[in-house]
Amino acid sequence: MGHISEILETARKRGKDLPYEGALLPIEAFRILTDAPGAKLVDVRTRAELDWVGRIPGSIGIEWMHYPVMQPNPHFLTQLIQQVDREALVMFICRSGHRSHNAAAIAVQAGYTECYNVLEGFEGDRDQHGQRGKINGWRHAGLPWEQG
């Protein structure tokens, strides 16, 4: 894996038509999280997902949707502003990369200057049997996570 600037350039090219800075693969997001001072990983999954499925050490949990009703969190931006500086490099992750895409786009609209979505998310895409965690994603890549 290259230096941080190379990773970010690749992410920008990968996400050239996105409403935020770029799109990262899980291993790239991990590298930035560990090597770039001040970089933040915001996990937008529900509290239930964080508790039952697992969480990434050092990530900031801010629900995009509330479980079990799966209604939008009306305080998402307020919570983000309270916990993450607008000038920070911010990476958003969810189960598969869809909710985090929306969170990154909203963050840019709120004045965040360097937002990235983590493709594949924590659990990854579904396999031929509809199950996640077997093809790609943060956990499948063997990156740090904890449960309980």
Query: Which residue type, as a one-letter code, is found at position 37?
Result: P
Which tokens belong to 125? Answer: 């895409």
Residue 22: Cβ within 10 Å count:
23
Q: What's the number of domains the chain is made of? A: 1
How far is residue 114's CA from residue 140's CA, in Å, rounded to a whole number? 26
pTM above 0.75, yes or no: yes
Would you say residue 73 lies in a domain? yes
Report which DSSP code applies to 138. T
Does 126 map to a domain? no
Peptide bond into 68 cis (omega under 30): yes
Q: Is residue 114 part of a domain?
A: yes
Residue ranges making up the domain that contains 34 = 4-118
DSSP 26-46: HHHHHHHHHHSTT-EEEE-S-
pLDDT of residue 71: 96
**Residue 130 counted as domain residue:** no
Residue spans of the chain under pLDDT 50: 1
- CATH number of the structural domain spanning residue 60: 3.40.250.10
pLDDT tens-digit readout, 135-147: 999 999 999 999 9
38, part of any domain: yes
In a domain, 141, yes or no: no
Q: Note the pLDDT of residue 148.
A: 73
Check if the beta carbon of residue 48 is closer than 8 Å to that of residue 68. yes
Closest among 141, 138, 147 to 41, alpha carbons compared: 138
Q: Please state the φ and ψ torsions of residue 40, each to the nearest 5 degrees.
A: -125, 140
Distance, in Å, from the CA atom of 61 to the CA atom of 94, rounded to the nearest integer, reads: 10
In a domain, 45, yes or no: yes
